[in-house]
């Protein structure tokens, strides 16, 4: 069972906020009856209509995108900027990004039309690892890296422990490259973590999502996940391991 506004949003009809407005305005029907309560939950067997148009159930699809920098991780953008879904020219399903990567961050991003899958991949309780490579200003100290490893206090709370290593550095040039793995997905989290230890990020790329990587793809390119990959991701979310 899912909340009605969530189902409408996942169907690509409207944003969740707009879906809530449509419900309150009496423009949504479930099994032929107008529903105005935002807490209403629906199942896959329920027939939902928005403005008299029936929501069509699509086959579930799963994509892995190599997101370039300078693109919004969203379905639409009110400022007219290019979004990740603009890169999918021949995909009939109404897909949306699983989580997000910042406008100026590149790397691995999943897209789907499966709301349950997206929830499993993004909620911190499922602890799905995401690995980033960050080029930072200055050379982080050992104590600074340990702070990240233990979890560091940000304005929205302390982060979960992270796996962090410095792969290279140049003291004369005042820069270093670090690899960091987290399972949370707060707004601009990796950038804020490095800023907190005095080493702001100059360039950021997500290299891996769980066991998935970008091998064989160039920026802007994508591929469908295999059924086996989707199954393994679900198993990982549900059990915390892949046997």
Min mean pLDDT across 8-12, 44-48, 167-171, 215-219 is at: 8-12
Name the more confident of 132 and 9. 132
Residue 243: its pLDDT value, please?
A: 66
Q: Report the phi/psi class of residue 10: left, alpha or beta, with left for phi > 0 and alpha for psi in -120 to 50.
A: alpha
- Residue ranges of domains in the chain, CATH in brackets: 2-54 (3.10.290.10), 62-124+214-239 (3.30.70.580), 129-209 (3.30.70.1560)
- Tell me whether residue 86 is one of the annotated catalytic residues: no
Q: How far is CA 23 from CA 116, 124, 198, in A?
A: 21, 29, 47
Angle at 25 between CA 19 and CA 28, to 5 degrees: 60
Residue 55 binned pLDDT confidence (cut-offs 50, 70, 90): confident
From the candidates 46, 59, 102, 114, give the one annotated as an active-site residue. Answer: 102
Residue 147: Cβ within 10 Å count:
19
């Amino acid at each position: 069972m899912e909340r009605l506004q969530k189902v409408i949003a996942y169907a690509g009809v409207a944003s969740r906020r707009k879906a809530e407005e449509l419900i309150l305005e009496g423009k949504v029907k479930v099994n032929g009856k107008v529903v105005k309560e935002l807490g209403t939950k629906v199942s896959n067997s329920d027939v939902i209509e928005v403005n008299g148009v029936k929501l069509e159930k699509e086959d579930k699809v799963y994509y892995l995108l190599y997101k370039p920098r300078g693109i919004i991780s969203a379905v639409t953008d009110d400022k007219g900027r290019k979004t990740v879904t603009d890169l999918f020219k021949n995909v009939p399903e109404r897909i949306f990004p699983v989580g997000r990567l910042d406008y100026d961050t590149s790397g691995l991003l999943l897209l789907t039309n499966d709301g349950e899958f997206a929830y499993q991949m993004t909620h911190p309780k499922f602890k799905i690892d995401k690995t980033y490579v960050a080029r930072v200003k200055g050379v982080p100290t050992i104590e600074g890296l340990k702070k990240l490893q233990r979890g560091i206090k940000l304005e929205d709370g302390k982060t979960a422990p992270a796996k962090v290593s410095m792969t290279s550095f140049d003291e004369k040039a005042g820069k270093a490259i670090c690899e960091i793995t987290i399972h949370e997905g707060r707004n601009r989290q990796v950038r804020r973590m490095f800023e907190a230890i005095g080493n702001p990020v100059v360039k950021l790329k997500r290299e891996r999502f769980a066991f998935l990587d970008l091998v064989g793809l160039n920026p802007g390119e994508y591929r469908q996940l295999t059924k086996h990959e989707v199954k393994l991701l679900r198993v990982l979310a549900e059990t915390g391991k892949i046997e």
